[in-house]
Structure 1
Amino acid sequence: MLTGLSWLALEAKYLEPARSFYEETLELACTAERETELVFAAGETDLVIRRPEAVPRGGLHTHYAFSIPDAEYDDWWDRLSAEYDLEEARFGPAKSLYLYDPDGNCVELGQQGVEGPGIDGIFEVVLEVEDLERAESFYAALGFETVDGGDERKRIRMNGPMALELWEPHLGIADARGGVHVDLGFESTEPTAELEAVSDRVQRVDRVDDEEVVVRDPDGHCLTFTT
């Protein structure tokens, strides 16, 4: 059983512009620094920014969403709009703002009723897929549940440790795109059980032991199941 999103990894051509954006603009704490990657704390989930020098690579043009406290939304809007051309969307009573990081990832900050202060988790990740039905079946086997079929079946939304959106190639809100070769880490009560659930559907298996399993989904996204 998947119990949480451990990390989301994105690709950056250069680390310093990414560091400035995430550390200074979005006020995330950098918790680890290596020659080819930076790790930021986004609540209980790590955001990993990685240069394309090894595999798995981080995701390209990935749309994903940070959780912020409801009461902080206007402050974030006022501060970010001074430098960025923001877009806004409403989902019932909640609002989200959208901007782009230096590497073209569409970053959403959305009201999620979290405690904060500041960014407090990642509540949505969007993956680009070739075949919606195939991708939906794969993630359903991992325990995700479809909650929205989307417009003309170009996308579907599934709930699990976070909201997972699967998009056939198209532009979404703020001209966002789903990510390609995204690297996601999931906390699991039993990693080998996750492999058993999708063993006949994975593109390949990269590693298996009692504490960690690494696979590629049918569209090449890298998934790690770890205790």
Structure 2
Amino acid sequence: MLTGLSWLALEVKDLDAAREFYVDLLELPVRADREMGAAASDSHPKPDAESNAERESELAVTAGDASLILRRPEGVPRGGLHTHYAFSIPAAEYDDWWTRLTDAGYELEEAQFGPATSLYLYDPDGNCVELGQQDVAGPGIDGIFEVVLEVESIERARSFYTALGFEAVDTGENRARVRLDGPVALELWEPHLGIANARGGVHVDLGFETETPLAELEAVADRVRQVDRKADDEVVVRDPDGHVVTFVSP
């Protein structure tokens, strides 16, 4: 059983620009106490504690209980390209965020989902970043609640993720997307443009916490594109669309 989102990795060209956006503007703290995604594997040595949070090619920041990894394209796996994903913010902070981001010169779009409102903007690398009202304590950004993956076949991708315990809760009218609930909401999109012209991410790197990494592999063994790493405490696979999915012990 997957118990939480551990990380989402994005590809960036310029770490300084990414730092200005995520650390200076969005006020996400640099994370210094964890390994950084599937790239920290046998072929990509894990950094020591002093250099763990930021290396020449990576920067990890904290969003609630998850990490956002910003990674230059200097190895495999790469981070996701043009990934649409959503940060959780306390409902009462929404107006403050709108003012802060418009004052900083960003053109925002807004969407309403029942009683909750979200704003949308783009980071320096073309990722569509959503800040959405959620039941979180804050202050500031307090988690990642949604990630959108681009897939070739909705049914094939849904079969993979429902085998891991995700549950389909909403299908788009044109059947080009499906929303899955789990430790994070996953939206699976066949290629199209969404709100704010967002696109689903390609070659996204996601890490999920679980007490049973090998059991998660067994659940999808007949659906994975390949297995990159298999150990008692960590399993790294490619889903049918090439997204990198890691099952890691907390």
Instruction: Place the TM-score, normalised by the shorter chain, in its bin.
Output: over 0.9
Q: TM-score, length-normalised on structure 1?
A: 0.99
Question: Please, which of 195, 215, 240 is the counterpart of residue 218 of structure 1?
Answer: 240
* Other-structure match for 1:150: 172
Aligned with 2:174: secondary structure?
helix
- Structure 1 stretches lacking a partner, 5+ long: none
Matched with 2:113 is 91
Q: Percent identity?
A: 74
Equivalent residue in structure 1 for 2:78, among 50, 57, 79: 57
Partner deviation per Cα, 1:56-102 (whole Å, 9 max, x = no partner): 10000000000000100000001101210000000000000000000
Structure 2 residue aligned with 1:45: 66
Unpaired runs of at least 5, structure 2: 32-52
Deviations 1:13-71 (A, max 9, x none): 11110010000110101121111000000010000000000001000000000000010
More strand by share: 1
Following superposition, the deviation at residue 113 of structure 1 comes to: 1.5
Superposition deviation, residue 115 in structure 1 = 0.2
Q: Determine if the alignment matches structure 1 residue 69 to structure 2 residue 99.
A: no
Aligned to 1:106: 128
Secondary structure of 2:217's partner?
helix
1:126 deviates by 0.1
Structure 1 runs of 4+ with >3 Å offset: none
Instruction: Map Cα deviations across residues 95-114 of structure 1 (whole Å, 9 max, x no partner).
Output: 00000000000000000020
Partner of 1:180: 202
Deviations 1:106-162 (A, max 9, x none): 000000020000000000000000000000011000000000011210100000001
Q: Distance in 1 between matches of 2:184 and 2:54?
A: 26
In the aligned structure 2, how far is the partner of 1:46 from the partner of 1:3? 15
Distance in 2 of aligned mates of 1:81 and 1:121: 22
